[in-house]
């Protein structure tokens, strides 16, 4: 069994045995047509590991804190689905140039208080970012949560994520590509 396959097996086992807040049961996985529709709406492909999570394990409802957002339907907690949230954030950023949303950065999990875990779908490692807008400064609202989606999932499975340890002195690394990647959306 490859390391990748082993991680998917561990995530699937934990997903079947835990329910984030608001989820009564694990949603069924999406089909290939739904994944293709999501990628078309987004304008980019999802990283292979993220695609496999949705295709193999479930359409959200598992993972850290409130769990992975579904691709299209709204989760029980009432947050918009991942595709809807991304498109809304990009549209809002085209109107409010102080708070642009970076291209290719898909929100995948809501932390509460307007904070999101996001996957940089343009990075080769599928870097997971933390969007934390509460201090009120867009240039200091983006942090590297995990160097890869694999590492982020491994931390959840192992119970070693920053959200599990609640280290008061934790200082996350700022995501330095924010302004480079947050080009305004051009509307016709």
Helix, strand or coil, per DSSP, at residue 172: coil
Helix, strand or coil, per DSSP, at residue 158: helix
Mean pLDDT for the stretch of residues 70-78:
75
What residues contact residue 149 under an 8 Å CB cut-off, 6+ apart? 47, 49, 50, 119, 125, 126, 127, 128
Banded model confidence at residue 158, pLDDT cuts 50, 70, 90: very high
What residues contact residue 123 under an 8 Å CB cut-off, 6+ apart? none
C-alpha to C-alpha distance for 60 and 81, rounded to whole angstroms: 9
Architecture of domain 3-159+170-181: 3-Layer(aba) Sandwich (3.40)
pLDDT of 178 over the 90 cut:
no
Neighbours of 88 (CB within 10 A): 13
Helix or strand holding residue 143 (H, E): strand 142-146
pLDDT of 168 over the 90 cut:
no
pTM of the model: 0.90
pLDDT cut 70: percent of the chain above it: 89
CA end-to-end span of the chain: 49
C-alpha to C-alpha distance for 9 and 159, rounded to whole angstroms: 16
């Amino acid at each position: 069994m490859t390391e990748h396959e082993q991680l998917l097996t561990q995530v699937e086992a934990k997903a079947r045995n835990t329910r984030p807040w608001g989820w009564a049961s694990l949603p069924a996985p999406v089909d290939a047509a739904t994944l293709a529709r999501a990628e078309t709406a987004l304008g980019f492909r999802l990283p292979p590991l993220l695609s496999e999570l949705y295709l193999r394990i479930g359409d959200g409802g598992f993972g850290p804190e409130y769990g992975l957002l579904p691709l299209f339907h709204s989760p029980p907690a009432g947050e918009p689905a991942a595709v809807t949230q991304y498109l809304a954030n990009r549209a809002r950023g085209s109107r409010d140039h102080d708070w642009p949303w970076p291209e290719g950065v898909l929100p995948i999990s809501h932390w509460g208080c307007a904070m999101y875990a996001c996957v940089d779908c343009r990075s080769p490692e599928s870097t997971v970012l933390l969007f934390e807008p509460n201090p009120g400064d867009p240039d200091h609202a983006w942090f590297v949560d995990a160097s890869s989606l694999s590492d982020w999932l491994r931390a959840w499975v192992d119970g070693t994520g920053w959200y599990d340890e609640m280290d008061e002195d934790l200082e996350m690394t700022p995501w330095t590509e924010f302004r480079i990647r947050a080009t305004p959306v051009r509307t016709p």
